[in-house]
Amino acid sequence: MDLARRGILIILSSPSGAGKSTLSKRVLEDDDQVVFSVSATTRSPRPGEENGREYFFKSREEFEDLVNSGGMLEHAEVFGNFYGTPLAPVEDAIASGQDVLFDVDWQGGQQIRNSPLSEAVVSVFVLPPSIAELEARLQKRGQDSAEVVAGRMAQSSNEISHWAEYDYVLVNDDVDRAEEDLRAIVQAERLKRARVTGLTGFVSGLKAEYEAMQ
């Protein structure tokens, strides 16, 4: 029986190369109740990018107005451009029972956990089985230079140091098993009593049935 429920915010963080993107992609493909969070940015659209699909493209002023009015769930500046998640579409999604997946670093995770939507947050940190394996995965992608790989490795040590801020931790030594674990987490979190808004009405119906029997 599918009772009405509030959606959850699934925060997925990990050092790059630990398999977070693959896990996100699989969950989004296999679970039609989960949507990906679309970020806003002040950088210019690249060829082929569409407003509202890759990003919501905003002027610096629009972006700052949103931040100042509390309209951003999280935001950060990267190489002079702002990136962030507008609050309103996320609120609408979870009110209608959709879950929203966030692929963010520990700083984004902290901001979302401290936001007005903190009750809806389910945070998952993905660890690599070893650092050697992490490096091997980054090198195998073949898309990054040795310098970029070295930079990501330095960053990963900092990212990993925040593992204990997350509700759940997965060690991704087998991507099928990690996906299964992530799906169990999502399924269980949806079943939490406090999230299933339809339960109160459902139990009232049971009570009415008892009364009608007497």
- Binding region for a second copy (CB under 8 A): 1, 3, 125, 127-132, 153, 157, 160, 163-164, 166-171, 173, 181, 183-185, 187-189, 191-193, 196, 199, 202-203, 205-207, 209-210, 213
Distances from the Cα of 102 to the Cαs of 4, 8, 144, in angstroms? 23, 11, 24
Minimum CB separation of residue 189 from a second copy in Å reads 7
CB 21 within 8 A of CB 14: no
Q: How far is the CB of 134 from a second copy (least distance, A)?
A: 9
What is d(CA 18, CA 142) in angstroms, rounded to the nearest whole number? 15
> Closer CB to a second copy, residue 26 or residue 183?
183
Closer CB to a second copy, residue 73 or residue 127? 127
Closest CB to a second copy among residues 49, 173:
173
Q: What is the DSSP string of 88-103?
A: HHHHHHHHTT-EEEEE
Count CB neighbours of 128 within 10 A.
Answer: 23
Q: Give me the least distance between CB of 108 and a second copy, in Å please.
A: 18
* Between 8 and 104, CB nearer to a second copy: 8
Nearer to a second copy, 58 or 195 (CB): 195
* Nearest to 56, CA basis, from 66, 42, 35: 42
Tell me the closest approach of the beta carbon of residue 35 to a second copy, in angstroms.
Answer: 20
CB 34, min distance to a second copy, A: 15
Least distance (Å) between residue 178 CB and a second copy: 10
Cβ contacts of 108 within 8 Å, gap of 6 or more: 11, 13, 74, 76, 85, 102
With CA atoms as reference, report the closest residue to 85 among 34, 118, 53, 39. 39
Nearer to a second copy, 88 or 148 (CB): 148
DSSP state of 45: P
